[in-house]
């Protein structure tokens, strides 16, 4: 199931042989497997036949940045990234075994995320661009969140969606009206280090009950965009939010702003998967 050339190159990069392979499902972008090496170690391997090393090296940088923040989150160690001669990109990381949540797992997760969000920079963005899913994500530094949100988050995705006719031109006009209101909608806060793609498919509890997060799209952003996204597909446990707010309370009115932040992931989903996501974008943006 793992393409032969990926297997060979992974073995070469790690200087170890792959002894056993078990497929892993659940990823929305890449193919993945659990591999056991000849020294007994298990690793998580993902690869993509249409994306080269670039996308995975950005993921590696993101995971390293999250790890270097030294929070209570479990972040997989990256062992190798690369690309085969035929252009198949791959990433090998620590295999984290899924466990059962402990009674305090969700609250410890909330506290750990708040700790991560306490890592600040003076501007919004990052030293390098990266990816959200398989789509490019620009991280050009901006002094204020409104400009960053429009220029680096909404506009590129909106253009992609209208160019591909997933959204009609009339939606652009609705966004233009919303842009004028953004300075009153968003609170003034320092840029926080965020995971950038935190939904229920990008975390689980490990065997110790700690939250493991992976597949990030990191940057320094307004932390509310991260929390808004956690609510988009069903939400996280209530103890998670209570614990988060006990460490780093949100400013009042977050629930009213939530949908505005979620225009970004909804546009990304429109571009990646089409379907009803464009409809959700339209129904939110029409309200402004």
State the residues that interact with ligand ADP by CB under 6 A. Answer: 24, 26-30, 32, 44, 46, 76, 93-96, 201-202, 214-215
The distance of closest approach from Cβ of residue 171 to ligand ADP in the complex, given in angstroms and rounded to an integer, is: 27
* CB-CB contact of 201 with 214 (8 Å): no
The distance of closest approach from Cβ of residue 59 to ligand ADP in the complex, given in angstroms and rounded to an integer, is: 8
3-state secondary structure at position 192:
strand
Name 153's Cβ contacts closer than 8 Å, sequence gap at least 6: 264
151 carries an active-site annotation: no
* CB-CB contact of 80 with 211 (8 Å): no
Pick the closer one to ligand ADP by CB: 76 or 125.
76
Catalytic residue among 38, 104, 163, 197: 197
Pick the closer one to ligand ADP by CB: 175 or 203.
203
From residue 240, alpha-carbon distances to 18, 234, 243 in Å are: 38, 13, 5
Pick the closer one to ligand ADP by CB: 143 or 273.
273
Pick the closer one to ligand ADP by CB: 74 or 171.
74
The distance of closest approach from Cβ of residue 212 to ligand ADP in the complex, given in angstroms and rounded to an integer, is: 7
How far from each other are the two terminal CA atoms of the chain, in whole angstroms? 49
Parallel, antiparallel, or unpaired: how do β-strands 42-48 and 31-37 relate?
Answer: antiparallel
Q: How far apart are CA 231 and CA 237, in angstroms?
A: 10
Q: How far apart are CA 161 and CA 268, in angstroms?
A: 9
**Residue 80: how many other CB atoms lie within 10 Å:** 17
**Residue 144: how many other CB atoms lie within 10 Å:** 14
The distance of closest approach from Cβ of residue 121 to ligand ADP in the complex, given in angstroms and rounded to an integer, is: 25
Considering just the CA atoms, what is the radius of gyration of the chain in Å?
Answer: 19
157 class by beta-carbon count within 10 Å (0-12 exposed, 13-18 middle, 19+ buried): buried
The distance of closest approach from Cβ of residue 172 to ligand ADP in the complex, given in angstroms and rounded to an integer, is: 29
- 38 CA to centre of own chain: 32
Residue whose Cβ sits closest to ligand ADP: 27
> Which residue numbers are catalytic?
197
């Amino acid at each position: 199931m793992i393409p032969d050339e990926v297997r060979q190159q992974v073995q070469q990069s790690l200087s170890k042989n792959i002894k056993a392979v078990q497929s892993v499902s659940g990823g929305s972008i890449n193919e993945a497997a659990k591999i056991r090496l000849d020294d007994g170690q298990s690793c998580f391997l993902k690869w993509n036949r249409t994306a080269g090393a670039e996308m995975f090296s950005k993921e590696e940088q993101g995971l390293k940045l999250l790890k270097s923040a030294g929070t209570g989150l479990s972040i997989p160690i990256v062992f190798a990234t690369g690309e085969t001669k035929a252009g198949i990109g791959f990433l090998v990381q620590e295999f984290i075994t899924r466990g059962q949540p402990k009674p305090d797992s969700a609250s410890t997760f909330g506290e750990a995320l708040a700790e991560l969000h306490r890592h600040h920079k003076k501007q919004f963005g990052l030293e390098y661009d990266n990816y959200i899913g398989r789509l490019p994500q620009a991280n050009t530094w901006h002094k204020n969140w409104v400009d960053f949100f429009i220029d680096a988050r909404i506009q590129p995705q909106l253009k992609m969606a209208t160019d591909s006719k997933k959204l009609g031109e009339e939606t652009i006009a609705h966004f233009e009206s919303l842009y004028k209101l953004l300075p009153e909608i968003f609170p003034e806060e320092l840029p926080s280090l965020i995971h950038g793609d935190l939904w229920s498919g990008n975390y689980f509890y490990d065997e110790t009950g700690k939250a493991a997060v992976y597949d990030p799209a990191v940057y320094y952003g307004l932390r509310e965009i991260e929390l808004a996204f956690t609510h988009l597909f069903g939400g996280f446990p209530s103890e998670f939010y209570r614990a988060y707010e006990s460490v780093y309370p949100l400013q009042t009115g977050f629930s009213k702003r939530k949908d505005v932040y979620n225009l970004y992931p909804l546009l990304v989903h429109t571009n990646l998967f089409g379907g009803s996501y464009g409809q959700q974008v339209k129904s939110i943006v029409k309200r402004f």
